[in-house]
Amino acid sequence: MGFVAIKGGENAIKNALKLFDKDFIDETIEIEQILKSMRLGVDRVMGEGSLYSKKLAAKALVKSSGDTLNAAFFLRAHRSSCQRIGNAKCIDTNDMRLVRRISSAFKDIEGGQILGPSNDYQIKLLQEIKLNLCEDEDMQTSGEDKKMRSALEPLRELGFIKSQPRDSKTDDITRVFPNPPYSRSAMMQAMARGESGSMLGFAYTSMRGYGDIHPTIGDLRLGSVEVKFTHPLTQKEVIIGEIEVSAVECVGEVEKQFDGSVKLNTGFGFCFGFNETKAICMGILDLNLYAVKHRENATHFASSCEMILHHIDGVDSMGFSNHYKLPHYVTFQAILQVFENAKRFRESKENNKA
């Protein structure tokens, strides 16, 4: 009986996969087309899949027919099969070669506001609007690297900015899932590969008043940065590549610290690719999790490490949600049996009263 069910299910699954490939996937689409026309979608999948490979992320988007959750799942599964050769050096976001850098905290900042490529200022209408580019000095690229320190560095040098203590060791949540109390390194990793929509939802609740976080963006930057690595044979530091990243420093309220000093709270967001909305949300959640007053009175779920860590991973949440599509015959029959027993019990009590 079991063998027949397995064989029947196997054939049905094979046919379902064939139908999906036939009706939902266009194999003629070139990967280069995806990289050019769906760049931000590729970056989102790349970040949530936790693997920096634009071509694989684009391939995953095609294979999933544009479903970003499934595409991240494909990429995460591939990542688990890749061999790890070591750990890269820490990245300093001040060393980024910038294509976009803005601050809403200061009007005048070192190097000036760089809007870069952005459609923030576009009227969201589905019609063609031709823009005439102004051929001025601002549109010309000099060829020089645009490297600028964070707009918050002057305040940090004056001692106005709170510094988070470093973890004694850096956790790796891809190897060992952390246990409470959760380290900041574990939380930052979870958020860096978290699902953008989930993080936006959690961050939005705190902005609406539940968590009382109303941040100002001190420094938002998009650009590329070198990844350095200690060569396993020569033991010399080498550059193994360059990655595009988004980084945000959010400024919270002034707050009295445990040592009695008064500092400005900041939250940090960092993720693969150009994904500034997610980076902003990460900075807001970081503020929620590590501001003194929110950590002491963690009544709001956006200020709970447990809540954030276990609910922002798109692969986990999608898998748990979609597993209900699988057979639950025994479970549902048990529910029906309990229902029928309860109904009979109630009827018998009513008959006894009569």
Residue 112 has pLDDT above 70, yes or no: yes
DSSP assignment letter at 95 = G
Per-residue pLDDT band at 1 (split at 50, 70, 90)? very low
| Average model confidence (pLDDT) across the chain | 88
Q: Which helix (H) or strand (E) holds 267?
A: strand 262-272
As a whole-number percent, the residues of the chain with pLDDT over 70 amount to 90
Would you say 113 and 128 are in contact if contact means Cβ atoms under 8 Å apart?
A: no
What was the pLDDT predicted at 141? 46
- The residue among 205, 209, 188 whose CA lies nearest residue 301 is 205
Asked which of 89-103, 216-230, 272-286, 322-336 is least confident by mean pLDDT, the reply is 322-336
Q: Answer whether 225's CB lies under 8 Å from 91's CB.
A: yes
Output the six-digit token pair for 260. Answer: 């009695």
Confidence of residue 293 (pLDDT cuts 50, 70, 90): low
Interval 316-325: pLDDT, tens: 999 999 999 8
CA distance 350 to 354: 6
Residue 326 has pLDDT above 90, yes or no: no
Q: What confidence tier does 292 reach under pLDDT thresholds 50, 70, 90?
A: low
Q: What is the pLDDT of residue 315?
A: 95
Quote the pLDDT of residue 5. Answer: 46
Average pLDDT over residues 192-206: 94
Quick check: 143 pLDDT over 60? no
User: With contact defined as beta carbons under 8 Å apart, do 105 and 218 qualify?
Assistant: yes
Q: Provide the pLDDT for residue 298.
A: 59
Check whether 63 has a pLDDT greater than 90.
yes
CA distance 293 to 66: 41
State the burial class of residue 64 (Cβ atoms within 10 Å of its Cβ: 0-12, 13-18, 19+): buried
